[in-house]
Structure 1
Amino acid sequence: MMREFVNWNIRMSRGFDRLFFGSFTRDGNTEFNDIIPALVEDGAQVADVGGGKTPFFSPEQVMVRRLRVTGVDIDAEQLTAAPEGAYSTVIVSALERCEPAPHDYVVAQSVLEHVSDGREAMAGIGRLLRPGGKVFTFCPNKRAWFARLNKLLPERLKRAILFSVYPSKAERQGFPAHYSGCTPAEMRINMMLAGIRPLETRYYFISSYFMFCFPLYFFWRISTFPLMRFWPDRYCETFIVFGVRCDQGVEFFY
């Protein structure tokens, strides 16, 4: 009964969004998964940061596209649990302490919110890129309601709530989040300090965390929509930033 009730609320929340909020219902994580493979050239050297046991590229994609993927994760067990053939090599290290290992691309999907120092983590990404190499990041905005709530609730309690309402999230979520540097503006600044020139920022205005209770979701959407509409850089839910590693550093601008 509880599962049916939750599913009904989720359907109501999604239907409400489809009726009234159009482009504000685009999901950033889904779009990241859709667009990044097309931006990575066949035969490239790719660093998959924080992918662990759920790598961004499947073993089949790696083989067909002749990719050489380095799995970068602080947890060796996560890397060991990845499907065979997903990684050509691995680096067991905190991103902040990564040694230089130039790659053509770095993919950082839903990982930078978990580092304790966003500036040092981006410096580590810079060391993983060759000059001209590109980084693709997807990240939640620390100003989002769910992120603020995530910081307030005890770790054990929020995991129990999250996984009971959304069991599918147990595969990739539930790790402690710090949200250091996790706004679009901070992300761009940290990139420039790491010698990476930001190329593009994309904003997304939906997350599923409150969908389990339609009245709560309704209140959240109505309350935050004006802020998202007029100040997307500050009040988006999630965002993507693309950047390119420069030979001579980056002229700082903001």
Structure 2
Amino acid sequence: MNFVERLYPETAAGGFARSHPRMELFVRIRSLLPPGAAVLDFGAGRGKFAEIDPPSLRVHTDLKPYVDRFAAFDVDEAVLENIETDDRHYAPIGAPLPFADNSFDLVYSTWVAEHIADAGFYSSEIARILKPGGWFCSLTPNKNGPIALAARMVPNHLHSAVLRHVVPSRQERDTFPTCYKLNTISDVGRHFPGWKNASYYFNGPAAYHGNKIALARLWQAVDWVLPKSMAKVLAIFVQKPLAGAPGAGAPLSD
């Protein structure tokens, strides 16, 4: 029995643990997709999850078979080599997203929101490019969870060194400065006022344990003891109001 199966025996059935964050995200995303959907992966980078998701999980996280358009955007030029799509787009930090108004039915991101310094600007841009009734969906650390609290105690320039010990598989090029401006349910409501807010906190499997069973068990105990408001992960699900609905034109603020 491998390390992960010792912690989560159900991994043997399908290759992923209960409440796997990306499974949580994509099961809901697929339930929200209208026929002929246009979808944007916001903060897509080089498409690393296509490389690291096991095939049994990739069956659920690959959206291309279910949409008419699958686009990728990032503020890092690595997106121009994204392996998931040829519909790739780059713009530097602070520049408008290179899409027309009302371009997408759904915009999603995975472990990106915690790196957005100007949450007011990017939430307004996401609102602009989403169609009325469209959804923004995201996985990000809960600002008040133990991992984000620990990360905020470590200067950004030391994050790569620390992560080499607790997540040996993490490549340095996949480590970025953290800001935590859009990382609580109340932050989400403030940046998307008037939107339906179906966001929630959850823990998912133990992480940041350096493949040490004792440390992983300790994380499991911490998850069990802490209140839900301090769970590790924030799942963001917000729906843009339909045109003419109350709050549809409400200004967004940082």
- TM-score calculated relative to the size of structure 2: 0.73
1:89–1:101 CA distance, 2 compared to 1 (3 A): farther
1:46–1:215 CA distance, 2 compared to 1 (3 A): same
Q: CA deviation at 1:218?
A: 4.2
Q: CA deviation at 1:165?
A: 4.4
Query: What are the within-5 Å matches in structure 2 for residues 80-159 of structure 1?
Result: 80-83=80-83, 86-94=85-93, 97-98=96-97, 101-102=101-102, 103-159=104-160
The whole-number CA distance in structure 1 between the counterparts of 2:149 and 2:30 is: 31
Q: CA deviation at 1:47?
A: 1.8
1:185–1:27 CA distance, 2 compared to 1 (3 A): farther
Instruction: Tell me if structure 2 keeps the 8 A contact 1:49–1:108.
Output: yes
The whole-number CA distance in structure 2 between the counterparts of 1:53 and 1:216 is: 31
Q: Which has the higher helix share?
A: 1
Indicate which of 187, 203, 225 corresponds to 2:201. 203
Indicate which of 212, 236, 244 corresponds to 2:231. 236
Which amino acid is the alignment partner of residue 234 of structure 2?
F
1:95–1:128 CA distance, 2 compared to 1 (3 A): farther
Structure 2: gaps spanning 5 or more residues: 12-16, 51-57
1:55–1:33 CA distance, 2 compared to 1 (3 A): farther
Instruction: Tell me if structure 2 keeps the 8 A contact 1:45–1:68.
Output: yes
- Runs of 4+, deviation exceeding 6 Å: 55-58
Q: CA deviation at 1:184?
A: 2.0
Which amino acid is the alignment partner of residue 97 of structure 2?
C
1:212–1:158 CA distance, 2 compared to 1 (3 A): farther
Alignment-derived partner of residue 4 in structure 1: none
Q: CA deviation at 1:130?
A: 1.6
Alignment-derived partner of residue 42 in structure 2: 49
Instruction: Tell me if structure 1 keeps the 8 A contact 2:40–2:70.
Output: yes
The whole-number CA distance in structure 2 between the counterparts of 1:151 and 1:250 is: 34
Structure 1: gaps spanning 5 or more residues: 1-6, 19-23
1:56–1:208 CA distance, 2 compared to 1 (3 A): closer
Q: Which stretch shows the higher mean deviation, 45-54 or 30-39?
A: 30-39
- Among all aligned residue pairs of Structure 1 and Structure 2, give the percentage whose two residues are the same amino acid: 22
Q: Which stretch shows the higher mean deviation, 128-137 or 210-219?
A: 210-219
1:34–1:209 CA distance, 2 compared to 1 (3 A): same
TM-align CA RMSD? 3.5
Q: CA deviation at 1:159?
A: 1.3
The whole-number CA distance in structure 1 between the counterparts of 2:63 and 2:131 is: 23
1:154–1:38 CA distance, 2 compared to 1 (3 A): same
Instruction: Tell me if structure 2 keeps the 8 A contact 1:132–1:244.
Output: yes
The whole-number CA distance in structure 1 between the counterparts of 2:8 and 2:49 is: 30
Query: Is residue 245 from structure 1 mapped to residue 240 from structure 2 by the alignment?
Result: yes
The whole-number CA distance in structure 2 between the counterparts of 1:66 and 1:213 is: 40
- TM-score calculated relative to the size of structure 1: 0.73
1:42–1:171 CA distance, 2 compared to 1 (3 A): farther
